[in-house]
Chains A and B, each alone.
Chain A
């Protein structure tokens, strides 16, 4: 099997490649990208996510991300790139900040920002759903809660979006490393300000957290802030983009949601299953094991595919069909096991408020198919760069 999983593809090509692999060989080896295992079956992906002892998330090379392929030189993501026991107290800090109750308190802000972003487009009858809606709303919710001034929001959200939305070798991509440094610089400055003068915001709350009875260090606080932005901003945007495109292409599903908004909850799980923003994650094998019939060696790299798992016919009947009230829906869009996305509660809240607001305000939107632009690469985060929409103009507040 000779598959460069990082090669640029369309979403359809990427899904087709996973389908072909999953049906023949749910655990397979490719010599590309340094050589790694590829896990595409639902049961195997779930088992590997749960098996943190065999499939470690810890960094082996301090300069390079352990949980993606492609040797991304980004700061260590915490607690995502930690194993127990180090993982546990750090996870507790983030889990508390993003708990179901804490996330629920942000619901009105999600609604506010969704409404605010749509207001601007109502009279023109045009809205570029990515840059004017899907992209700024989750960023505003997270960055406002954290306590960054609004003058930072565009710069920060672009820093995470641009490396994904533009092809390798583009000038936007080249600026990505510098953009992350700028983000970290702002994080550092804002955390430092709060050590002197605490405020009523997320960054202060993170800074005042305990790790095993000791106050969190400023370095860890900065890293947790970086993780919160990186983990939740562009991912939620991608989910909203996927859903809005789906509801354009599948008018029956849109009609059902317009008729019965209580279906939004189960529809959200179907969007997550079919269009998971985080499509894959990498792990490192800790000791020689046999897994999925394959002999894995300590140090081997393994790529797990949440996106392939979500379309596995062994786990889901008629897996490529969107079934608006599908139940059960045990998709792995937020992963599984100890590293299950801590932002999952907030993600669902922000997403449902965005969709609910948009369906109230412009239920009759139409996306201009010829102008749709996908991310050039669907290997790790999958999303859209442009989804231009049109609709009959209406008063700003309607």
Chain B
């Protein structure tokens, strides 16, 4: 499973991290600057919730 973030769309709401801090890291200003990451084992549900929380809908989850 992979997380893709449209980093241009990210406006720094920080909801992904609020909901799933184990998965989502932000830069010092509170923006998600990680365009691609692999979902760590056991954190699939947290990853999905973090993506769903984004008001910009900047995060997509891909099952591989």
Contact = CB atoms under 8 A, between A and B. Distances in A.
Asked if A pairs with B, the answer is yes
Interface of A: 46, 50, 92, 95-96, 99-101, 265, 327-332, 334, 336-338, 340, 342, 344-345
Instruction: For chain B, give the interface size range.
Output: 10 to 19
A331 B53 CA distance: 10
17 contacts: A50-B56, A92-B29, A95-B29, A95-B30, A96-B29, A100-B17, A101-B28, A328-B52, A329-B53, A330-B15, A330-B53, A330-B55, A331-B55, A332-B55, A340-B13, A342-B12, A344-B14
Nearest to A265: B18
A338 B52 contact: no
A17 B19 CA distance: 34
A221 to B, nearest CB: 19
Contacts of A342: 12
A100 B56 contact: no
Interface of B: 9, 11-15, 17-18, 26, 28-30, 49, 52-57
Contact of B54 (A99, A330, A338): A330
Nearest to B56: A336
Contacts of A330: 15, 53-55, 57
A99 B28 contact: yes
A99 B30 contact: yes
Given A330-B53, A330-B55, A336 B11 contact: yes
Contacts of A334: 13
A327 B29 contact: no
B15, B53, B55, B56: residue with the most chain A Cβ atoms closer than 10 Å = B55
B12, B14, B54, B57: residue with the most chain A Cβ atoms closer than 10 Å = B12
Nearest to B30: A100
Nearest to B12: A340
A310 to B, nearest CB: 11
Contacts of B55: 46, 330-332, 336
Nearest to B11: A340
B14, B30, B49, B54: residue with the most chain A Cβ atoms closer than 10 Å = B30
Nearest to B14: A100
Nearest to B54: A330
A342 B13 CA distance: 9
